[in-house]
Amino acid sequence: MQPITETFYKYIEALQNKITMAFEAIDGCATFDEDIWEREEGGGGRTRILLNGNVFEKGGVNISKVHGALPKAMQSYFGVENVDFFACGLSLVMHPKNPMVPTVHANWRYFEMYNKDGSIIDQWFGGGMDLTPYYLFDDDVKYFHMQCKSACDRHNKNFYKKYKKDCDSYFYNSHRNEARGVGGLFFDYCKGNDSMTIEQWYDFVKDVADNFLNSYVPIVNKRKNITYSATERQWQEIRRGRYVEFNLIHDKGTLFGLKTNGRIESILMSLPPQVQWSYGYKPAPNSKEEELIKVLKKPKNWI
């Protein structure tokens, strides 16, 4: 039986191919450029970026596996000393051109820590997926959450409620007192124990990841050809600014990448290409823009 590190990395290699092919087919114009990179301390990755398409203005679907001595800053974060680590995962963000189509983010990852004789002292899975709309279509959000729930329910009927709540808590711009988007799933430190083995956690993560395209693609196809105005485009760019703020101020993945001497271009690929910060901007009363803000101020149970 091959190590779970090898099993999971082979899985995300294939998943990256599947997802990038699907997004290229939807876009019908742009294709992903591939960038193979290596990390001096150990490991590397395969970054794929799509730019200026018919449907997607920018998107990235990246895989990486990195290893070596855990940097001092991360030792302090995890409360350990003098350990080595291995981490691999797939991370994606797709920023659509049309403001009626939501941005989507997903990540699935595996982490191990070792003592100096090479014995595993800790291991866990993490990940999830979440939706960030600019204009609210309740049916789209309900559909996305139903897909999240169906994947969770196949493994544990309590998972959706827990990981939906964790997602609402994590993707929250506390300095703005509003959520980044309408949530989905977020799970971390999923460790083998009496209730779930590490292999069962792998099966769960794989199920959620395998269901990703079915969760998002129908929404894109439903909204991508809606006509939009310059005002609606401006709102999209203002909301993208909030997305940037979360990723640079609060996101743990960004922090981990920077603290472990990750590849900066791959770490920051999640940032949208066109963004606005309009001083003191407030949406008009009773507008569709204000409707979105009201939902982001207080996370909602969609199903």
Please list the alpha-helical segments (H only) found in the chain.
Answer: 4-27, 72-78, 138-153, 159-170, 198-210, 212-223, 230-249, 252-259, 264-267, 288-297
- Residue of 95, 105, 145, 175 marked active site: 105
Q: What is the CA radius of gyration of the chain?
A: 19
Residue 187 to residue 178: CA distance in whole angstroms: 20
Tokens representing residue 125 in the block: 């899975």
Residue with tokens 């509003």, as numbered in its chain: 178
d(CA 103, CA 137): 13
| Residue 247 DSSP SS3 | helix
**For the residues of 242-262, what is the DSSP string, one character each?**
HHHHHHHHT-HHHHHHHHTT-
Q: Give CA–CA dist 30/48, Å, rounded.
A: 12
Dihedral (C-alpha) 269, 46, 187, 273: value to the nearest 10 degrees?
Answer: 10
Distance, in Å, from the CA atom of 120 to the CA atom of 247, rounded to the nearest integer, reads: 31
CA distance 191 to 201: 7
Establish whether 175 is a catalytic residue: no
Here the tokens at position 16 are 């990256």
Q: Which amino acid is at 184?
A: G
E strands, 215-290, in order: none
Residues involved in catalysis: 105
